[in-house]
Amino acid sequence: MFAIVDIETTGGSAAQSAITEVAVLLHNGKEVEDRFSTLINPESIIPHYITALTGIDNAMVRNAPTFAEIAPTLFQLLQDRIFIAHNVNFDHSFLHYQFKQADLLFQPRKLCTVRYAKKLVPGLASYSLGNLCRSLGIPIEDRHRAAGDATATTLLFEHLLAIDEDKKVLQEMTKGRNPHSYLPMHVPAEVIENLPYSPGVYYFRDKKGKVVYVGKAVNLKFRVKSHFTNNAAGRRRQEMLRNIHSIEYTTCATELMAIVLESIEIKRLWPLYNRSQKRYEATYGLYSMQDRAGRIRLLVDKKKKVMPALHTFSNPEEGYKLVSSLAASLELNTEWVFGRYHPEEVLPDDLNERMQQLINGLTGYLPDFALVERGEDVVGNTRYVIYQVVKGTFKGMGCTEQPPENWEAVNGLVTAYPENEFIRNTIFSALAKGGGMVMEPG
């Protein structure tokens, strides 16, 4: 028993938009048994561009029932039926959200006619409802209205049922909680089935192949599935799901490696739907120079290409904090350190000597080391992940079959990556927790 559904809405987000029309055709697998269709008052203004697309305006829905008023009737119609729609997760997300507001739990088995058509009629240029019906010679009338599109979807479903003679594809796509029921319509189920149960970084790509989201996982299969199996109705999530056309991944030997690689990739690719770690980070440096009187002073400024920095920071406050800590241990006024002298002040005779001690003291704060972490590849072979830090700055990462024997070996095994504050703090945190073997120069 099937319920073939189409809705019209005020926008693309179930949580921030509303339904303006719904149509349901009840089907027994051979023919339509009953129909239900109604306009719905969204209790909000219908945008002009929606009216231009659907023809539904504010005057048409003014006296229509609200969703809360039709919810019990609609819920009863859909009970114990497989929920069918063209791009089923879009229609389901709205109805699930609206039923939830009415204290009704809506969790049907689902069938997407986009995915069903891709299985049975592969190789078409487009699987949009209009283009698909045109390719298959299926009439479609009253486009972008719920009853018209639901009728066309029903004719499409009947056409696909005739091709699927033994109904094996139908049974595969509607049994239990299988990938066909929750994946975005463009993503093959095989992608999820082939994901490993290992740490790694995954990439969601749009129809042009551009990476739109990067994530890290302790378990790639579980984490990627979680994006599609929850019922979050936010606009950003719904938009991202519609834009996912393919999924790729890189396995990692450890969770820490996945965390570091994710950060590197977010900075490199700047994906549309990533929010964390995309804050702009200007790179600042700590510099040593002499004033006209020959006194050594320090300067925190934007990184300079022609002058080597004693240390680099993601923001100037980080530099001032480090210098202030060192200055206090040497009884140095930070005003002196940065060359802000007052005429009446008596400066210590050994100011330069103490300033040099401060600069030398950076070595203890800015260590050279490699953190070597033991992990496993996707088939269980031992791998060693190396994170190299030079003068307190992340320099690179590598993964090898054998641990490095010395510092020179480390230099040859790591790939250089851009430094950022998140990676640096993550590695220092792992170091403090005793997350692996530590190697130092010499």
Strands laid side by side in the 369-376 sheet: 415-416, 393-400, 382-390, 369-376, 437-439
- Report the distance separating Cα 262 and Cα 132, nearest Å: 38
Chain-centre distance of CA 362, in angstroms? Answer: 38
- What are the start-end ranges of the H helices in 299-382? 316-329, 334-337, 351-365
From the list 48, 86, 144, 159, the catalytic residue is: 144
Handedness of CA 307, 312, 315, 317 (dihedral sign): negative
DSSP string, 31-77: SEEEEEEEE-B-SSPPPHHHHHHH---HHHHTTSPBHHHHHHHHHHH
For residue 279, the number of C-alpha atoms closer than 13 Å in the C-beta half-sphere is: 9
Is 227 among the catalytic positions?
A: no
Give 166's contacts (C-beta < 8 A, 6+ positions apart).
none
Encoded tokens for 322: 């480090």
- What are the start-end ranges of the H helices in 338-404? 351-365
- Report the distance separating Cα 323 and Cα 354, nearest Å: 13
Q: In terms of DSSP bridges, do strands 82-85 and 110-112 run parallel, antiparallel, or are they unpaired?
A: parallel
Catalytic residues: 144
